[in-house]
Amino acid sequence: MSNPDEPTKNNHEVSPAPPTATDVENPTQGVESGVSAITSRWRREDLLKRGSLVARGLALLFSFLSFTIMASNKHGDEEDGEDFNKYQEYRYLLAIAILSFLYTGGQVGRHVIWTGKQIFERRVCAMVDFLGDQVMAYLLISSASAAIPVTNQMREGLDNIFTDSSAAAISMSFLAFLSLALSAMVSGHKLSTQSYI
Amino acid sequence: MSNPDEPTKNNHEVSPAPPTATDVENPTQGVESGVSAITSRWRREDLLKRGSLVARGLALLFSFLSFTIMASNKHGDEEDGEDFNKYQEYRYLLAIAILSFLYTGGQVGRHVIWTGKQIFERRVCAMVDFLGDQVMAYLLISSASAAIPVTNQMREGLDNIFTDSSAAAISMSFLAFLSLALSAMVSGHKLSTQSYI
């Protein structure tokens, strides 16, 4: 009788164990899924923040290149030489590139260096970010578009270092526009989802 | 004994009444505040939907005006006359105005006429809306900016019906850009908050 008794005892000892194990496992799983949801949200927000910083950093670089190339675009002597200052389209491009450089520089500086208390409300900051990015993107595409026809016309006649520099500056402004358009999308997303955080 | 008995009976009959009234009122208030929150949300969403439709309708009108004004901008005979077709900037403006007219026409038609089942997922529709608005806005500001310098240069020399028509077409394209930029902001907001609805 010891043989049938032992398996029964064993069964009795083993059978309560699985429910206990699942009972312990289930809450852990619930907590884990909750934690993973929160961490995935944090990761997404962190990714957005980093993406926005990278986009603005690229816009800073490209607008710096654009304005230095255009500002140094003077060749030959004063009379015969070609000077960007003679063309209002190039002056417009230069002005917008400088504005974009200052704006993106300020934004990158604010996000990298400034870690203290926020002076303004968070919602106001998000709105300023979005509007700033969007308006700068519109200005950059506008200045690049305005400068393209005159450069194109000049290059039909002759192709020298002046027209090449102009084309390079225009390309840099266009790349800065692409970066800021991306950044504007990210800050628009931040602005819209912000009240739910 | 009938007098003291009657007030007691009255008291007994009256006293349970006020608590019942407040008991009934409190849930009603709770339900009302919940209902008002939901209706205010509906009202906001309805306002956004209507605002988006109005902005797109304005963009449709302005791009129609822009492309008809530019397409009819031929004056004088073939040899001496001024024709928008000679200038690539004006051809670009015309092309973008037609594109914008078709796009906004399609969007307005879809929102006004189409009431059946949505073919695509709602999220996909919202993304197409946002990207379409944003890209069209960039194209419109780009075409207006490209056409401004050549018109400006022509108007320095002489100011006739050709340059005036060009200026009018450019203004209409710029107004269409403003409308679509507004619409892009609304559809970006819709896209971002959509997963929470």
What pLDDT was estimated at residue A46? 86
Residues of A in contact with B191 (CB under 8 A): 192
pLDDT for res A15: 44
- Average pLDDT rounded to a whole number, residues A161-175: 94
CA distance A190 to chain B (A): 8
Angle subtended at Cα B182 by Cα B64 and Cα A137, rounded to the nearest 5 degrees: 100
Helix (H, G, I), strand (E, B) or coil at A74: strand
B19 pLDDT above the threshold of 60: no
| pLDDT tens for each residue of A35-64 | 888 888 888 888 888 888 999 999 999 999
Whether B46 shows a pLDDT value over 50: the answer reads yes
pLDDT at B80 over 80: no
Question: For B192, which of A143, A146, A189 is closest by C-beta distance?
Answer: A189
Q: Which residue has the higher pLDDT, B194 or B188?
A: B188
Residues of B in contact with A88 (CB under 8 A): 149, 152
Which residues in chain B are contacts of A196 at CB distance < 8 A?
Answer: 193, 196
Looking at chain A, which residue has its C-alpha nearest residue B143? A145
Contacts of A150 in chain B (CB under 8 A): 149
Which is higher by pLDDT, B123 or A76? Answer: B123
Of B88, B138, B185, the CB nearest to A149: B88
Task: Return d(Cα A5, Cα A21) in angstroms, integer.
Answer: 25
Reported as a single tens digit per residue, the pLDDT across B140-181 is: 999 999 999 999 988 888 888 889 999 999 999 999 999 999
Which CA distances in Å does B42 have to A43, B108, B197? 32, 21, 11
Beta bridge partners of A75: A82
Strand partners, B27: none
Residue A116: DSSP 8-state: S
A7 or A73, which is more confident = A73
Structural domains of chain A sorted by starting position, each given as residue range(s) with its CATH number in brackets? 52-196 (1.20.120)
Alpha-carbon gap: A21 to the closest alpha carbon of chain B (Å): 36
Question: What local confidence, expressed as pLDDT, does residue B78 receive?
Answer: 63
Most confident of A116-120, B65-69, B79-83: B65-69
Determine the pLDDT at residue B5: 45
Give per-residue pLDDT as tens, A75-114: 866 666 688 888 999 999 999 999 999 999 999 998 888 7
CB A170 within 8 Å of CB A89 = no
Helix B88-112 crosses helix B122-157 at what angle (to 10 degrees)?
150
pLDDT of amino acid A85? 87
Q: A93, A96, A140, A142: which to substitute to probe chain B, counting the most B Cβ within 10 Å? A: A142
Chain A CB contacts of B127 below 8 Å = none
pLDDT at A27: 56
Q: Which of A14-23, A107-116, B109-118, B187-196 has the highest mean pLDDT?
A: A107-116
ipTM, two decimals, is 0.76
CA A102 to chain B, closest CA, distance in angstroms equals 22
What share of chain A in percent tops pLDDT 90?
Answer: 43
Instruction: Give pLDDT, residue B160.
Output: 85
Tens-digit pLDDT profile for residues A177-186 = 999 999 998 8
Task: Report chain B's mean pLDDT, rounded to a whole number.
Answer: 81
